[in-house]
Amino acid sequence: MYNPKSKDANEFIDNNEVIESIEEAKKLVNDAQYIEKILEKAETCKGLTHREAAVLLELEDDAALEKIYKSAKKIKEKIYGNRIVLFAPLYLSNYCVNNCKYCAYKCSNKIGRTQLSQEQLKEEVRALEALGHKRLLLEAGEDDEKCPIDYVVDCIKTIYAEKFKNGSIRRVNVDIAATTAENYVKLKEVGIGTYLLFQETYHKPTYEKVHAGPKKNYEWHTEAMDRAMLDGKIDDVGIGVLYGLYDYKYDTIAMLMHAEHLEAAAGVGPHTISFPRLLPAEGVDYKSFPYLVKDRDFKKLAAVTRLAVPYTGMILTTRENAEFRRELLDIGFSQMSAGSSVGVGGYSDTAKKVHEGLEEKPQFNLADHRKPMDVIKGLVKDGYIPSYCTACYREGRTGDRFMPLAKSGQIGNFCLPNALLTFEEYLKDYADEELKVMGKELIDREIQNIPDARRREKALSYLERIRSGDRDLRF
Ligand code: SF4
Ligand code: SF4
């Protein structure tokens, strides 16, 4: 029985409710007036119910899809402006006790296994800092013996403790397996930013089919965010579907139901939604997955998500190629990874690549191989402001303190100046001559768009201070 407030995964992601939503949507999709009404509602930034979103997911004709894309872009610009926040994943360990069919780290794969020592981690962090990164996403396979929570906690402490000429890593987000309430408390105590855990698929029979090992427990996995938020007191969580495992309509509707559940049960919805898409990887029989998502459908489902949860950050991964990423940014994504390595020790190359005679392999094959500076140049050319901002987390604007700011439309007043300040830092510390010229032009232009005169003045004075050597100034 569908109940968004229930703590039982089978009730807040009720299979019948998802199926009924799809069936109802098939009947309503030809009602042009109703579609208009949904789009009008979306443009007021009130969000959509999963049933309304289901109707938009049924749309197929180009003209209707164009309308959705336009609305998605408008909403993103209204709430967050044209900044794109950048981050990098950092792999700690590829030991894993699970045997997920879609992942190169599955335990049946004969690949070299390794884990960063604290010294190797420092090397990685130095290499990432030298690329300009301030916000990291830690990744690790599930292995309570080889990669226990205390190891992850030590890694977070090591990262925050590293200080460089140009600053430090300012926000550490964590993507590790579903765990206990006690372990979430440990992550909270050590100051994680967002806790991310992808559902992979909400379709229980498929979920159980593609998983083996502790991760196969659907309820334990799907209820993890409740433990993280309600028991672990983690303010910000990030969810996501691995598109390609099951029908994208089913999974998108269920993901929106998950967001509705978190809002109902924890008082605040997901801070971010990521959109990984199944990719070829070592030992993965990619072609055997019958639900691979086409670009056109992927773009549609992302835009519909933007309309449905306007205040949630949307994360684009380097799984998409550069050209398609550009198209996707236009329909509402607000964060992206840049210059990613998806292997252990991939940035500094200090970790050995062969372990016990076996070669290490990346978790999946990347599609965007550009260096961060090239990603940034691409963003600037397309009129976006690259941002290394981490201000909200550090100013305590998280969880239920963040959402009112986003919902009242005020967050843009923070995002724009903070994006410009962190971009100015990047220009001073890392950029080549070409980017310095492009960046100055962009900052001079965009600073005039800060609506509040006092805030604009303050931002201008902060910019001057950064140019004279100050760092980490923020709103
Ligand atoms: Fe392990 Fe995660 Fe890969 Fe599954 S998806 S095999 S849990 S690393
Ligand atoms: Fe993100 Fe807050 Fe910075 Fe905006 S001001 S980019 S919401 S951290």
Question: Looking at the predicted structure, is the pLDDT value of residue 351 above 70?
Answer: no
Q: What is the pLDDT of residue 350?
A: 61
pLDDT at 138 over 70: yes
So where are the chain's domains?
77-370, 397-467
The mean pLDDT value for 212-219 works out to 98
Q: What is the pLDDT of residue 80?
A: 87
- pLDDT tens for 372-406 read 999 999 999 999 999 999 999 899 999 888 888 88
The pLDDT, as a whole number, for residue 451 is 86
Flag whether pLDDT at 441 surpasses 70: yes
Given a cut of 70, whether residue 200 has pLDDT beyond it is yes
pLDDT at 367 over 80: no
Which of 91, 98, 201, 274 has the most ligand 1 atoms within 8 A of CB, as the residue to mutate? 98
- Is 245 in contact with 278 (CB distance < 8 Å)? yes
Q: Is the pTM of this model over 0.85?
A: yes
Q: Which atom of ligand 1 is nearest to the CA of 215?
A: 7
Per-residue pLDDT, 280: 84
Find out whether 237 and 195 touch, Cβ atoms under 8 Å.
Answer: yes
- State what percent of residues in the chain have pLDDT above 90: 84
CATH topology of domain 77-370: TIM Barrel (3.20.20)
Confidence label for 27 from pLDDT (cuts 50, 70 and 90): very high
Specify the residue with its C-alpha closest to ligand 2, atom 2.
392
Pocket residues for ligand 2 (CB within 6 Å)?
85, 387, 389-392, 411, 414-415, 418
The pLDDT confidence band at residue 368, using thresholds 50, 70 and 90, is confident
More confident residue, 367 or 421: 421
- Given a cut of 90, whether residue 298 has pLDDT beyond it is yes
CB 356 within 8 A of CB 95: no
